[in-house]
Amino acid sequence: MFRENILLALESLRLNKMRAILTMLGIIIGIASVITIMTVGNGLTKGVSDAMQSLGGNNISVYIEEKGLAEEEEDEGTGEEPVFGTVEQTYGMTDNDYFTAEMIRDLCAHYPDEIQAISVEEGLGNVACSYNNKSEAASLTGVTAGYFYANNLTLVRGSFFTEQDLDRGANVVMISDKFAESLFGDVDRAMGSSFECTVYDQHLEMTVTGIYQYQKDTMMSSLIMGEGDTSQMYMPLKAARIIYGEESGNQYYYFDIVTKQGVDSESFAQTAQQYLTDTYYRDNPYIQPSAFSMSSVVDEMSGVMGKVTLAISAIAAIALVVGGIGVMNIMLVSITERTREIGTRKALGATNGSIRTQFITEAIIICLLGGVIGIVIGSALGMIATAVMGALSGPTPFSILLSLGVAMAVGIFFGYYPANKAAKMNPIDALRYE
């Protein structure tokens, strides 16, 4: 009977093609909306995750923060009604509050099996570069050697900074292959060449010591990191501090730890924070170190994006309710039109259960066909949208199975009442129906 019910349902749809299409329209729109939103949500989550991972999925950021304990109560005043509250006291940091190179070296020596490299950077902003009457803009950043481990830069020509370059603060830079082609016209010509760079009204001569592979930012990474398509140019941190007027500076507000493979960065972040606190900041009443892992940020952002996607999908699923009401309405019309058919079947011995199953099957077939069409349309729209955002993604098997399951549930739920009405018809009254 199951096979016959499916064939009867398909035949009924074939005889009323336009009505069947209009009936399925609500289901199609609802399923397509849910699939599109879930696909875009997955794409956004993947884009955010990839953008954050490009910053170093296993990196740990360590920085200085105020303890937040420097508060005192306001005076109650002289009026009849007392005034309550607190006044936040801003603490001015001194040289003794910052991290020092000795502290960082001590941390590395204490945890040699966990720490692979230390990255420190200091941005100098956008600078103007010129070579043979040709000008280009770039973003200049002073970095330590560990920065290249932390950000997974791929070397194309030359080498990273030598220890001598880093110690003496030489005016050498690493540029991207895109910037090399724009300013020098050729990557090979750029290697070892010198060019003028204007930084804070200082005209400096920079020498190219290495060229790395440029990675175009996706829309998502641009939103998160705010870099856009501006080429990044790197120089030794000490050279950047000399330009900035801090050549003797040995203080750091923050630094990044690159953990070794297999180290739980989230757990080690707490370990490093506790060690620095106990060793150097236990007696400091105002300042304390704080550390967090990029992996925890990625997990948190992915969780938030997942919840937002589910919430919006649930709102879009309201269209399925509208579509289900349309299915119920058409099934009631269909039962009215086929009253004599129902009476004939019951007169020949069809049970109430078989009549009910026939019309529920028809409702399910309508919803499943609409669901399949909606999945195809939603998948196409979702992939187009995520491709535009630079985070191409398709529907997950879970979202497809969920959509089909919801379509079947809608068919059963909204098809039961009309089917039950048909099953309870009196065969004699049904046969008399004109």
Query: Which amino acid is located at 423 in the chain?
Result: A
Task: Provide the pLDDT for residue 333.
Answer: 83
Question: Which tokens belong to 49?
Answer: 């995750």
Compute the average pLDDT of residues 16-24: 82
Cβ partners under 8 Å of residue 402, min gap 6: none
Compute the average pLDDT of residues 303-313: 78
Per-residue confidence band for 56, with pLDDT thresholds at 50, 70 and 90: low
Dump pLDDT digits (tens) for 247-266.
555 788 889 998 888 888 88
**Beta pairing, strands 115-119 & 121-131:** unpaired
Which among 385, 390, 388, 387 has a CA at the least distance from the CA of 36? Answer: 385
- Give, as one character, the DSSP assignment of residue 423: H
Q: What is the C-alpha separation between 31 and 378, in angstroms, rounded?
A: 7
Domain ranges of the chain: 2-52+302-432, 115-259
Exposure of 86 in the CB half-sphere (CA atoms within 13 A): 8
Question: Which tokens belong to 56?
Answer: 């170093």
**Beta pairing, strands 121-131 & 287-293:** unpaired
Compute the average pLDDT of residues 89-97: 68
Dump pLDDT digits (tens) for 270-288.
999 999 999 999 888 888 8
DSSP 321-341: HHHHHHHHHHHHHHHHHTHHH
Exposure of 88 in the CB half-sphere (CA atoms within 13 A): 5
Instruction: Tell me how many degrees the CA angle 376-377-382 measures, rounded to the nearest 5.
Output: 100
Q: What is the C-alpha separation between 118 and 317, in angstroms, rounded?
A: 49
Task: Provide the pLDDT for residue 50.
Answer: 65
Q: What is the CA radius of gyration of the chain?
A: 34
Per-residue confidence band for 91, with pLDDT thresholds at 50, 70 and 90: low
Is residue 235 predicted with pLDDT exceeding 90?
Answer: yes
Which among 155, 150, 118, 142 has a CA at the least distance from the CA of 54? Answer: 150
Per-residue confidence band for 131, with pLDDT thresholds at 50, 70 and 90: very high
DSSP 203-250: EEEEEEEEEE---PPPHHHHHHH--TTPPEEEEEHHHHHHHHT-TT--
Query: Which amino acid is located at 33 in the chain?
Result: S
Task: Provide the pLDDT for residue 54.
Answer: 57
Give this prediction's pTM: 0.60
Computed over every residue of the chain, the mean pLDDT equals 81
At residue 16, the 3 state secondary structure works out as coil
Q: Which of 62-76, 117-131, 357-371 has the lowest mean pLDDT?
A: 62-76
Helix (H) or strand (E) holding 130: strand 121-131
- Give, as one character, the DSSP assignment of residue 395: -
Dump pLDDT digits (tens) for 133-187.
898 889 999 999 888 888 878 888 888 898 888 888 889 999 999 999 999 988 8
CB 233, CB 124: distance < 8 Å: no
Task: Provide the pLDDT for residue 193.
Answer: 92
Q: pLDDT higher for 57 or 403? A: 403
Is residue 345 predicted with pLDDT exceeding 70?
Answer: yes
Is residue 69 predicted with pLDDT exceeding 50?
Answer: no
Task: Provide the pLDDT for residue 51.
Answer: 62
Q: What is the C-alpha separation between 269 and 291, in angstroms, rounded?
A: 5
| 3-state percent helix, strand, coil for the chain, nearest multiple of 5 | 55, 20, 25
Question: Which tokens belong to 76?
Answer: 């109650």
Helix (H) or strand (E) holding 141: strand 134-143
